[in-house]
C-alpha cells in the first residue's frame, strides 16, 4: 500500500515536439513565478503486496494537484507493473488551463489551442 507521496515537477523543463511552441508554454504556465507543480496523495493507493512480474494492475490515486499556485483535488488513473524488480507506474489525468487560473497557450504560428488536455507521467519505484 502506498500511503503517502508528494511528487514535485519542475515545469521549467517542459518542452514540446516543436521548440518554437516552448516559449508560449512557459509564458502560459508563468514558470518564472510558478516553477513547480505538485501532486500529493490524500488517500492510500492499494498496490499489491506481492505483485507478479509483468502483470498490469489498474489503480486510482486521489490527491491534490497544485499548478500555478492553485490546488485542485484530482483522481489519477494508474497502471502499475513490476519489471525486473522495479515497479513502473504510468498515470494520466485530465487538465484544463482555466481550472488553474490560466488561459491556453497562444502563439502566432498556431491557429488555436484547446483549453484542455491530459497530463501523463511515468514513475519508477525501487526499494530503498
pLDDT tens-digit profile of 12-68?
A: 998 877 788 788 888 888 999 999 999 999 999 988 888 899 999 999 999 999 999
What is the percent of the chain with per-residue pLDDT over 70, rounded to a whole number? 94
Whether the per-residue pLDDT at 110 is higher than 70: the answer is no
What is the structure's pLDDT at 104? 81
Q: What's the predicted TM-score (pTM) here?
A: 0.83
Whether the per-residue pLDDT at 111 is higher than 90: the answer is no
Return the HEC string of the chain. Answer: CECCCEEEEEHHHCCCCCHHHHHHHHHHHCCCCCCEEEEEECCCECCCCCCCECCEEEEEEEEEEEECCEEEEEEEEEEEEEECCEEEEEEEEEEEHHHHCCCCCCCCCCCCCCCEEEEEEEEEECCC
Amino acid at each position: 500500500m502506498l500511503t503517502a507521496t508528494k511528487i514535485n515537477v519542475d515545469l521549467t523543463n517542459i518542452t514540446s515536439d516543436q521548440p518554437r511552441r516552448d516559449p508560449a508554454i512557459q509564458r502560459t504556465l508563468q514558470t518564472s513565478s510558478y516553477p513547480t507543480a505538485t501532486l500529493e496523495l490524500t488517500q492510500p493507493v492499494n498496490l499489491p503486496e506481492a505483485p507478479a512480474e509483468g502483470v498490469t494492475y489498474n489503480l486510482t490515486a486521489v490527491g491534490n494537484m497544485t499548478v500555478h499556485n492553485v490546488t485542485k483535488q484530482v483522481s489519477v488513473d494508474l497502471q502499475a507493473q513490476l519489471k525486473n524488480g522495479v515497479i513502473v507506474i504510468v498515470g494520466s489525468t485530465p487538465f484544463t488551463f482555466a481550472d488553474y487560473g490560466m488561459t491556453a497557450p497562444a502563439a502566432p504560428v498556431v491557429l488555436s489551442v484547446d483549453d484542455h488536455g491530459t497530463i501523463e507521467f511515468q514513475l519508477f519505484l525501487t526499494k530503498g
